[in-house]
Amino acid sequence: MSKRQKHQQHEEEGGEAWLLPYSDLMTLLLAVFIVLFAVSQVDQAKAKDMSEAFTEEMMTQSYIISQLNEQETLQNESPNETKSELQKMEELKAELDAKLESENLALAVTTSIDKRGLVISFNNAIIFEPGSAEIKKENEDSLLEIAKMFQIMDNYIRIEGHTDNVPMNSNIYRSNWDLSAARAANVVRLFTSKTNLSPEKLIAVGYGEYRPIEDNSTDEGRAKNRRIDIIVLSEKYNDLEQ
Triad 84, 89, 95: Cα angle to 5°: 130
pTM for this entry: 0.66
Element (H, E) at 11: helix 2-15
Distance CA 122, CA 2 (A): 116
Residue 236: pLDDT band (50, 70, 90) is confident
The b-or-e profile of 109-138 (16+ CB within 10 A means b, else e) is: bbbeeeebbbbbbbbbebbbeeebbebeee
pLDDT band at 180 (very low <50, low <70, confident <90, very high): very high
- For residue 54, pLDDT over 60 is answered with no
140: pLDDT confidence band, cut at 50, 70 and 90?
A: very high
Q: Please state, as a whole number, how many other Cβ atoms lie within 10 Å of the Cβ of residue 148.
A: 14
How far apart are alpha carbons 198 and 51 in whole angstroms? 45
CA–CA dist 162, 182 (Å, integer): 11
| Domains, the chain, with CATH or none | 2-76 (no CATH), 85-241 (3.30.1330.60)
- pLDDT of 63 higher than 50: no
Mean pLDDT of 186-202: 95
Strands 202-208 and 157-162: parallel
How much is the pLDDT for 174? 93
DSSP 8-state symbol, 135:
B
Mean pLDDT of 59-84: 56
Nearest to 170 by CA among 205, 133, 141: 133
pLDDT of residue 83: 72
Element at 34 (helix H, strand E): helix 19-42
| DSSP conformation class of 81 | T
Residues forming a β-bridge with 232:
118, 157
Residue of higher predicted confidence among 52 and 212: 212
Q: How far apart are CA 150 and CA 222, in angstroms?
A: 29
**Which alpha helices (H) appear in 172-218, and where do they start and end?**
176-194
Q: Rounded to whole angstroms, how far apart are CA atoms 137 and 171?
A: 23
Residue 223 C-alpha from the chain's centroid: 27
SS3 123: strand
Indicate the Cα dihedral angle 190, 194, 197, 201, nearest 10°.
Answer: 30
Of the candidates 84, 121, 72, 118, which has an alpha carbon nearest to the alpha carbon of residue 100?
121
